[in-house]
Structure 1
Amino acid sequence: MLKFKLYYDKDAEEAWLREMSLNGWALKKFFLGFYTFEPCEPGEYNYQIDLLDNWSGNKSDYASFMEDLGVEVIEQWWRWVYLRKKAADGPFEMYTDAESKINLYSKIRNFFKIVLVIEVICFFMEFTATIRTGNVIFGIFTVLLGAISLAILNVVWKCKWKIEQFKYEKS
């Protein structure tokens, strides 16, 4: 089965993948919002999504390390890594303490801050083109870029909020 979804929220995406597993569908492949699923026993897998520190490291070392922990690397898309573990092997949570969660959400927030800056620059360029030309197509793209910028800003805000929550837990 092939499904298309765009997620900006790691937690929501993981919850959806768990729900799919509970309905008997295991993630097999991911690329640019396209998720490929294969049948599985309902609830057979638990999923986690990780953000690598950089994309130039040795990916086979990461995969070997995960396999040693009983975790399967399903897919890596740029710096995002999709992982699964058999539910029968127990709970699957990569980041368990407040400090590691703070580090993870800080990485995610910083990643999306960079994307946000790029989107905002594109938005203003498109906005300028719309004003200069009065072209409806440019206007449509301006609105689209504005919506994407707001969605990314929402992710940055959620990460900031989660970091504050974990700092509160830690203290």
Structure 2
Amino acid sequence: MLKFKLYYDKDAEEAWLKKMCLDGWEFKKFFLGFYTFKPCEPGEYNYQIDLLDNWKGDTVDYSSFMSNVGVQVVGQWWRWVYLKKKASDGPFEMYTDVESKIAQYRRIGNLFKVFSFVEAICFFVELIGAVNTGDYIFVIFTVLLAAIFLTMIRIVWKCKLKIEKFKREGM
């Protein structure tokens, strides 16, 4: 089965993958919003999504390490890595201590800060084009870029809130 969804919230995406598995669909691969599933036993797997530390994403060492701890790398899209583990092997949580959870959400927040900065530049270039030409195409793209920018800022804000929550819990 092929499904199309756009997620910008890692936690919501993980919850959706878990629900799909509970409904009997094993996640097989991802590409640009398209998720491929195949039938499985309901609840057979648990899923986690990780963000690699570096931009290149050394998947060979990462996959080898994950395999040694009973986790399978389902796929990778740039720095995002999709992981699964048999539910019968017990709970699956990549980051269990407060410091590692904070570090993960810092990485995610920093990544989206960079994207937000690039989107802001694109927005202002498009806005200048819209003002100078009055062309409705520029206006449409300006509105679209503004929506993308606001979505990215929302992600950064959610990461900041999660980090603050983890800090309070860790006290």
- Regarding TM over 0.5, the answer is yes
Per-residue CA distance 1:13-42 (angstroms, 9 max, x = gap): 000000110111111110111111111111
- Cα distance between partner residues in 1 of 2:63 and 2:28: 16
- Cα distance between partner residues in 2 of 1:31 and 1:94: 23
- Cα distance between partner residues in 1 of 2:143 and 2:94: 38
Q: Percent same amino acid among aligned pairs? A: 68
Per-residue CA distance 1:90-126 (angstroms, 9 max, x = gap): 1100001111100000000000000000011111111
User: Letter of the aligned partner of 2:145 in structure 1?
Assistant: L
Verify the 8 A CA contact 2:57 2:78 in the aligned structure 1. Answer: no
Name the residue aligned to 2:10.
Answer: 10
User: Letter of the aligned partner of 1:22 in structure 2?
Assistant: L
Q: How far did 1:57 drift?
A: 4.9
Q: How does 1:11-26 map to 2 (within 5 A)?
A: 11-26=11-26
User: Letter of the aligned partner of 1:100 in structure 2?
Assistant: S
Per-residue CA distance 1:22-75 (angstroms, 9 max, x = gap): 111111110111111111111111100000001325321110100011100000
User: Letter of the aligned partner of 1:131 in structure 2?
Assistant: V
- Structure 1 length normalisation: TM-score? 0.98
- Cα distance between partner residues in 2 of 1:126 and 1:150: 16
- Cα distance between partner residues in 2 of 1:127 and 1:40: 49
Verify the 8 A CA contact 2:129 2:138 in the aligned structure 1. Answer: yes
- Are 1:78 and 2:78 matched, yes or no? yes
Q: How does 1:1-171 map to 2 (within 5 A)?
A: 1-171=1-171
- Cα distance between partner residues in 2 of 1:157 and 1:58: 28
Q: Which runs of 4+ in 1 moved over 2 A?
A: 55-58
Verify the 8 A CA contact 2:56 2:79 in the aligned structure 1. Answer: no
- Cα distance between partner residues in 1 of 2:122 and 2:33: 22
User: For structure 2, which runs of at least 5 residues remain unmatched after alignment?
Assistant: none
User: Letter of the aligned partner of 2:148 in structure 1?
Assistant: I
Per-residue CA distance 1:139-171 (angstroms, 9 max, x = gap): 111111111111111100000000000111111
